[in-house]
Structure 1
Amino acid sequence: MAGPFFQSTPHLPVLSVVLLLILPFAYASSHAFYNIFFHPLRSIPGPLLWRMTKVPYDYYLFTGNLIPKIAELHRQYGPIVRTAPNDLSCTEAEAWEDVFAHHQGKAEWQKNPARQSNPPNGMPNILGADRENHARYRRLLAHAFSEKGLQEQRGTISHYVDLLIDRLRERARRGESTDMVEWYNMTLFDVIGDLAFGASFNSLQDRKQHEWIPAILGNVQSVVVASVFREYGMPWLNRWAVPRRMQQLRVRNFMYAKQKVVERAELGAARGDFWDRILIKSVDDNAGGEGMNQGEMLNNASVLVLGGSETSVTTLSGLTYFLLQNPEKMAMLVKEIRSSFKSDDEIDAFSVARLTYLSGALEETMRLYPPVPFPAARMPSQGEGTMCGLSVPEGVSVQMSQVGIGQRPDYFHLPEQFVPERWLDEPPPEFAGDNRSALQPFVVGTRNASRPRIGIEIRLTDMQCIGRNLAYAEMRLIVAKLLWHFDLEAAAGGVGDAWLQQKAWGLWSKKPLYVRLKDVAS
């Protein structure tokens, strides 16, 4: 006799399909319920959907709109915001010390490994290396980025800045508007090419941007977009989800790096550039262990070119925009530059360091338009970590919102206004209370040595980017030479309030910045 069970067996396939549909929904619902009511971060404010699931965060990351969105959330919810079930965004100044600085006897907060991507050959570069390998890479590059190294490089830097002025003078004489973002890119790309590899990319000479520039930026975008699916454990989806153009640029970036490293190695180790010491220490594919093997050279070549050009291009472009939007500040900066020198010959990478208003204008630009808007997220390495008195469980990522920090009214008086004076040794009284140490535009981790900026008290001692001295020298020199020789005005339809409304995948996707130049000598 057939019982009820046997009578229902024809419906088992239907039941299986129903269960397959219901179980994922039930699984996701249970996780969302846990994330809201039982998760250790349940008391941290943030939008409900963001606290339930990581989907909103990943959507804004994938579309390039995460940076302004996170700043908006900070304005709404406060200095510490839960931006995903296991993610916090922070704008508290003390978090730089708690999360990024080295603490004796305590494990450093590590970069979230799920969001790190090795280059195609699988070997880490200086940005993604562990502590031991990072120290090895840094030793090889330390002299090139030192004060002494900068002394040796100033002739090279001046050569390309002077070539930039010549090229801009050609445009000025023809009365043509010019995209300053493109010219800054070409200049700094040529400089780092010569300093790092002993040979320019000839962008200024050819008056044409080298193809490696878009390839490097495309590689960064590709890595950021791919991290969305990699973190879900589905990297195979990147083949279809990451835009094909980004994938192609990533491959092209690796190809250009390989070509440049091979060409540089053929020149030997007596060129006087960054690569000399690397080659000397890397004989027989780094048999001695003090240099770099071929794969490491490829990966670090790309990082050198990116770090030595892109962030400075961003700052220079932003400064140009803010000066055009604030003509009274432009006039003050022009006055400082033209009254400090008697001739162009006096302007070099070291003499420009005394231009305090220029230094303030650069700092103010990086406050409003940070060159690296999101430093890599950090997470406690072992057990819980403590940030701003808050216990951060293992497995939770903390990210600093540079844009959010710069916009805090309790840190910066009139935070939306471009005020270089706030960075002077003796700022106007209304800006004397600004928390200037909250701004850390060159922070990259716990393993880097720093030097306090002139006139600015820096609380941290081990956090600044290795290329910081070079970046400041280049930027000051370019701006000083530019405003010594030219009056700048916005080209018709070329600059507007919408210029800052940019997408970002790790770095800003900058719009053209069209400017008309008038040669003051003509």
Structure 2
Amino acid sequence: MGVLHTEALAELSLGSAMALSGIALLLYLLISSVYYAFFHPLAKVPGPKLYAITQIPYLYYLSKGDWVFHLAKLHEQYGPAVRFTPKDVSFITAEASKKIYGHKAAGNKSFEKDFRMYRQNRPCSSIVRSDQEDHRRMRRLLAHAFSSKALRGQGDVVDHYVELFMKGLTERAQRGEEIDIVAWYNFASFDLIGHLALGQPFGCLENGKYHPWVSRVFKGLKVLSYTQIYVRLGLQNWISLLSPPSLRKSYEEHMQFAEHAALARIESKDTDSQDFMSYVLRHNDEKGMSQLEIIENSGVMIIAGSETTATLLSGTTYFLLKNPDKLEKLTNEIRSAFSSEEEITVTQVDQLKYMLAVFNEGFRMYPPVAVGLSRISPAGGEFIDGYWIPENTAVSMPHWPAYYSKLNFRDPKKFVPERWLDDPRYASDNRAILSPFSLGPRDCIGKNLAYTEMRLLLARMLWKFDLEAVPTDKDWYDQKIFFLWEKGGLPIKLKEVVREKV
């Protein structure tokens, strides 16, 4: 009986301990929820109370590729500031954007990058995944490759790939074939950036198809969204195991290819070519970058300098096709400005005001980076848009929600390039909010090259061809966003313009 009594007491004690533990956990969750919802320093920032106590809704929509669109609805409901997790706040004003990303006056503290967005198991940092000091060091060296002087020297390289782009379109137009213009924009941008970043093109334009490595890049980019989810759940050490094997394999193969190509380019010791590496090798010193960092940044530049450019061109072309009057107006501007293709140069396309307005509207309606790039508030905290943001809070300005908000633009869902040309109907638009290349010391270092490439490709195509959309079962714009847009094909038909010979 004594033994049975002892065992019963032990079971009772274990059961009581488990019950008490459960009650303690429930009390902790209840108290924590009440604190975050009503007493936390961020409690005054608008947003759903559920989102104030848990990040699960955010991670759910992020995993589906729908977060950006859901966040836009939250801003529509709650206003220009939305708290969407216990320690994340989204802003959609130009003032907040400047505060978060802009240059800081002497004595003001910077908002550092939120590395939960970029964390990868890599051997070293890159210009994207670097702290303030390393970023400054890397950018100082890379700036030589993106200077105005360098861009002038790279003009012949850019022209070469524009010619290959036009040659491929012409051959297919003459055969009456449908053309996936998204693919061809990708071919052009990847071939060009492959030449400039690694000293070798991928042959996409000449072969009319994706290089196997380029295909892997698209799959690998999804890893960025999954990485953020795992890091936020405290599973950062398990990223390699938890990411879908096919995506993980694609990302790893992308980096391996970039490493091998960059290493071969470095070992060639060529400093005379007009590519990025020649400038980097020529100006590198003990204050520059290690060989490992140069290789790492080469892989980053391939993605940053290609996919985003092709995305903007794809979205802009889609909206032009959906708005024939805007397409006609742009086409007329281009054809009236040039009497031959040879006249369409970098200098001359810069004078096309309506084309610039079209690209600005393309950036607004289809920003290549639609998400908010998180920054961490500095020690001591800061006021943003009248809200006190305590230190170590993640803050961001998400592009798509900001650009589609009625708080910033009239008729936000309409493609209206005229809003960028002082049309009085849109005088109230907050045009200062548009910052597709970001702001401040971490803005896109390659924006001038991107503008050059975009203007030449679109101007040459519209000068030579009439564009016609091919009907499809699904609206091309119905897409997911996993850090970047998950684009499908956009089939079009091209008809070469017949001109009288002079």
Q: TM-score, normalised by structure 2?
A: 0.93
Q: Secondary structure at the match of 1:225?
A: helix
In structure 1, the partner of 2:403 is 406
Alignment equivalent of 1:106, drawn from 100, 108, 125: 108
- Counterpart Cα distance in 1 of 2:30 and 2:241: 28
The 2-side partners of 1:329 and 1:99 are apart by 35
Q: 2:349 aligns with which of 348, 352, 357?
A: 352
Residue identity in the other structure for 2:182:
V
* Residue 463 (structure 2) aligns with: 484
CA distance in 1, matches of 2:151, 2:176: 36
Q: Offset of 1:18 from its aligned partner?
A: 3.9
Contact 1:118 1:124 in 2 (8 A): no
Partner of 2:151: 150
Q: Does 1:472 align with 2:472?
A: no
Equivalent residue, structure 1, for 2:486 = 509
Residue 81 of structure 1 aligns to a residue in which SS?
Answer: strand
For residue 179 of structure 1, report the CA deviation from its aligned partner.
Answer: 1.1
* 1:22-46 per-position Cα deviation (integer Å, ceiling 9, x unaligned): 5544433332222112111112221
Q: Which range moved further: 77-86 or 224-233? A: 224-233
Q: Percent identity?
A: 37
Q: Contact 1:98/1:386 (CA < 8 Å) preserved in 2?
A: no
| Alignment partner, residue 422 of structure 1 | 419
Residues 422-469 of structure 1: per-residue CA shift (max 9 Å, x gap): 112xx22111232111111110x5315xxxxxxxxxxxxxxx421111
Amino acid paired to 1:228: I
Which residue in 2 is equivalent to 1:173?
174
Given that 1:281 and 1:290 are in contact with CA atoms closer than 8 Å, whether structure 2 keeps it comes out as no
Q: Deviations over 1:218-273 (max 9, x none)?
A: 33321221221212322244345321111111111111111111221232222221
1:21 deviates by 4.8
- What is the aligned partner in structure 1 of residue 37 from structure 2? 36
Q: CA deviation at 1:289?
A: 2.1
How does 1:296-335 map onto structure 2 within 5 Å? 296-335=293-332
Q: How many Å apart are 1:20 and its aligned residue? A: 5.3
Q: Which residue does the alignment assign to 1:214? A: 215
Moved more, 89-98 or 320-329: 89-98
Contact 1:193/1:305, CA 8 A, preserved across alignment: yes
CA deviation map 1:127-170 (0-9, x unaligned)? 12122221221122213212222211121111111111110112
Aligned pairs for 1:380-395 (under 5 A) are 380-395=377-392
- Determine helix, strand or coil for the equivalent of 2:222: helix
Specify the alignment match of 1:447 in structure 2: 441
* Corresponding residue pairs, total: 494
CA RMSD of aligned residues (A): 2.0
Q: Once the 2 structures are TM-superposed, how far is the Cα of residue 516 of structure 1 from its aligned partner?
A: 0.9
What are the Cα deviations for residues 377-431 of structure 1, in whole angstroms up to 9, with x where unaligned? 012121111211221001211111211221222422211110111112xx22111
- Equivalent residues of 2:403, 2:434 under 8 A apart: yes
Alpha-carbon deviations, 1:456-500, whole Å to 9, x = none?
Answer: xxxxxxxx4211111111101110001011111111317x6x322
137-146 vs 162-171, which moves further = 137-146
How far residue 513 of structure 1 moved from its aligned partner, in angstroms, is 0.7
Distance 1:509 1:479 in 2: 22
Contact 2:100–2:396 at 8 Å: present in 1 too?
A: no
Instruction: Give the CA deviation at 1:202.
Output: 1.2
Segment of structure 1 superposing worse, 23-32 or 271-280:
23-32
Greater shift, 235-244 or 329-338, is seen at: 235-244
Partner of 1:235: 236
Tell me if structure 2 keeps the 8 A contact 1:196–1:275: yes
- What are the equivalent positions in structure 2 for 1:187-336 lying under 5 Å apart? 187-268=188-269, 269-282=271-284, 288-336=285-333
**Cα distance in 2, alignment partners of residues 248 and 415 from structure 1:** 39
Task: Provide the rounded CA distance (Å) in 2 between the counterparts of 1:299 and 1:224.
Answer: 20
Runs (4+) off by over 6 Å: none
One-letter amino acid matched to 1:348 = T
Q: Distance in 1 between matches of 2:464 and 2:23?
A: 70
Distance 2:268 2:470 in 1: 44
C-alpha contact 2:114 2:374 (8 A) present in aligned 1: yes
Shift of 1:15: 3.2
Gaps of 5+ in 2: none
Conservation of the 8 A alpha-carbon contact between 1:281 and 1:292: no
In structure 2, the CA distance between the partners of 1:245 and 1:407, relative to structure 1 (3 Å rule), is same
For 1:338, which of 335, 339, 347 is the aligned residue?
335
Q: For the residues of structure 2 that align with 1:217 and 1:332, how far apart are their CA atoms? A: 34
User: Which stretch shows the higher mean deviation, 220-229 or 256-265?
Assistant: 220-229
> One-letter code of the match for 1:431?
Y
State the partner residue of 1:90: 91
CA–CA separation in structure 2 for the residues paired with 1:24 and 1:517: 65
**Residue 115 of structure 1 aligns to a residue in which SS?**
coil
In the alignment, is the contact (CA less than 8 A) between 1:279 and 1:291 conserved in 2?
A: no
Shift in Å, 1:515: 0.7
Cα distance between partner residues in 2 of 1:436 and 1:515: 31
Q: Distance in 2 between matches of 1:294 and 1:135?
A: 17
DSSP-derived class of the 1:518 partner: strand
Instruction: Give how far 1:185 is off.
Output: 0.5
Alpha-carbon distance in structure 1 between the residues aligned to 2:451 and 2:227 = 32
Q: Deviations over 1:97-140 (max 9, x none)?
A: 2111223211101112343314522x110012122221221122
Cα displacement (A) at 1:84: 0.6
SS for the counterpart of 1:499 is coil
Taking structure 1 as reference, are residues 350 and 119 closer, same or farther at Cα in structure 2, changes over 3 Å only? Answer: farther
Describe the shift of the 1:66–1:315 C-alpha distance in structure 2 as closer, same or farther (beyond 3 A): same
Work out whether residues 113 and 131 of structure 2, in 8 Å CA contact, stay in contact via their aligned partners in 1: no
Hey, what's the Cα distance between the residues in 2 that align with 1:349 and 1:421? Answer: 23
Letter in 2 for 1:337: I
Stretches of structure 1 lacking an aligned partner (at least 5 in a row): 283-287, 449-463
One-letter amino acid of the counterpart of residue 276, structure 1: S
Moved more, 265-274 or 34-43: 265-274
Q: 1:297 and 1:319 mapped to 2: Cα distance?
A: 33
Report the alpha carbon displacement of residue 348 of structure 1 after superposing the two structures with TM.
1.5
TM-score, scaled relative to structure 1: 0.90
Give the partner amino acid of 1:365: G
Distance 1:157 1:388, change over 3 A: same
